[in-house]
């Protein structure tokens, strides 16, 4: 059986079957029914659902206000990943969400780490 012709996905660049209507890597519609970039998505570009690292970084950054410092670290790492993805694929958006994750996660991550370390030192000194 002959291998079907493959073309690069216009969104993510991965090789897909030429007759495919949806990219199996990024989930975008690539056939004739694909909307133009000017139309946008139904969220008006507010929610960067195509840039999951940035979106998760945003929520981790927001929830890093809760005293659990690993969430802040996760927000910083995912925020950096989201910025890289937005730079590589400008159509996915999400730079603001990534920056909020980096800043909030960094600040609260440092606060909760310092609070934990100082608490341990205080407990050790009180013995």
Same domain? For 77 and 18 the reply is: no
Same domain? For 31 and 49 the reply is: no
Is pLDDT above 60 for 29?
yes
Same domain? For 73 and 111 the reply is: yes
Task: Look at the chain and report how many structural domains it folds into.
Answer: 2
Asked which of 17-21, 37-41, 65-69, 100-104 is least confident by mean pLDDT, the reply is 37-41
Provide the domain limits for residue 24.
1-36
Q: What is the mean pLDDT of residues 86-95?
A: 85
List the one residue out of 94, 84, 80, 95 whose CA is nearest residue 48: 94
Same domain? For 10 and 26 the reply is: yes
Same domain? For 63 and 119 the reply is: yes
Report how far residue 72's alpha carbon sits from residue 79's, in angstroms, rounded to the nearest whole number.
10
Quote the pTM value. 0.60
Is pLDDT above 90 for 80?
yes
Same domain? For 47 and 89 the reply is: yes
Same domain? For 32 and 47 the reply is: no
Helix (H) or strand (E) holding 16: strand 15-17
């Amino acid at each position: 059986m002959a291998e079907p012709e493959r073309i690069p996905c216009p969104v993510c660049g991965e090789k897909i079957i030429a007759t495919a209507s949806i990219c199996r890597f990024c989930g975008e519609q690539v056939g004739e029914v694909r909307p133009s970039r000017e139309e946008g998505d139904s969220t008006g570009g507010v929610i960067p659902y195509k840039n999951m690292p940035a979106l998760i970084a945003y929520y981790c950054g927001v929830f890093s206000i809760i005293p659990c410092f690993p969430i802040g670290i996760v927000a910083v790492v995912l925020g950096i990943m989201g910025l890289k993805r937005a730079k590589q694929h400008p159509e996915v958006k999400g730079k603001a969400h990534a920056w909020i994750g980096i800043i909030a996660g960094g600040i609260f991550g440092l606060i909760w780490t310092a609070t934990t370390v100082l608490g341990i030192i205080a407990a050790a000194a009180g013995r």
